[in-house]
Amino acid sequence: MSHARLVLPALLALAPLAATAEPVDYRLDPVHTQIVFNVEHNGFSRSFGRLKISEGSLRFDPDDWSKSSLQVTVNLDSLDMGDADWNKAVKGASLLDTAHAATARYVSESVEKRSDTEGTVHGKFTLRGVTVPLDIPFRVNRVGRTIYGLHTVAGFSSSFTLDRTVFGMTSNRNSIGTEVTVWLEAEAIRGGEKPSPTTKERTDAPTQ
């Protein structure tokens, strides 16, 4: 079963952007980075949840992807299953155990370029105190200035599966599936710059 990681793909997303030989620093935008997952529930349906990142940074060299790197921290306490009881159960000791490990961490080891817009990040993922190798395939969506010119942004998408039992979450096998599907939609802002509270994105309003 393949293991993939959450934030790594960003590195490669930057490839089409730079024309310089120097690595460029980016910071994941927590507002526009979405982590969504689902898992089978009693064979009836798949339950969905969301998680937020605490922080994420990456460095990308457009001429040599092997010099790129990524680090991401996921806030497990941000879990939202759409129901307070569900949230409490999944964050409990038999599953995420957020009381003892409130974050998950991914650190890249290398980046592999597969095409102009696709690649794989190789690294290690730590969850519940268990660290395993994790490879994340990714697709570059767009690199450029935002519509209002506020930032230079790299956007990418990724999807992969994880086996929760690898991280010690072996309970509830009769009611909760072991295979977890994860989707990542991410935006990274060039230069580690964070959006200013005074430069919020505008929305188009209907004319009167």
- Given this model, what pLDDT does residue 181 score? 97
Residues of the chain with pLDDT under 50: 1-20, 196-199, 203-208
What pTM value is reported for the model? 0.79
CB 41 within 8 A of CB 195: no
Could you give the domains of the chain?
Answer: 10-190 (2.40.128.110)
- Given this model, what pLDDT does residue 193 score? 54
In this structure, what token pair is assigned to residue 200? 């919020």
- Given this model, what pLDDT does residue 176 score? 93
How many CA within 13 A on the CB side of residue 170? 2
In this structure, what token pair is assigned to residue 166? 């690898």
- Given this model, what pLDDT does residue 184 score? 93
In this structure, what token pair is assigned to residue 17? 């952007």
Distance between CA atoms of 13 and 189, rounded to whole angstroms?
11
CA nearest to 11, candidates 88, 96, 119: 119
pLDDT tens track for 69-127 = 889 999 999 999 999 999 999 999 999 999 999 999 999 999 988 988 888 999 999 99
CB 5 within 8 A of CB 134: yes
Per-residue DSSP letter, 91: T
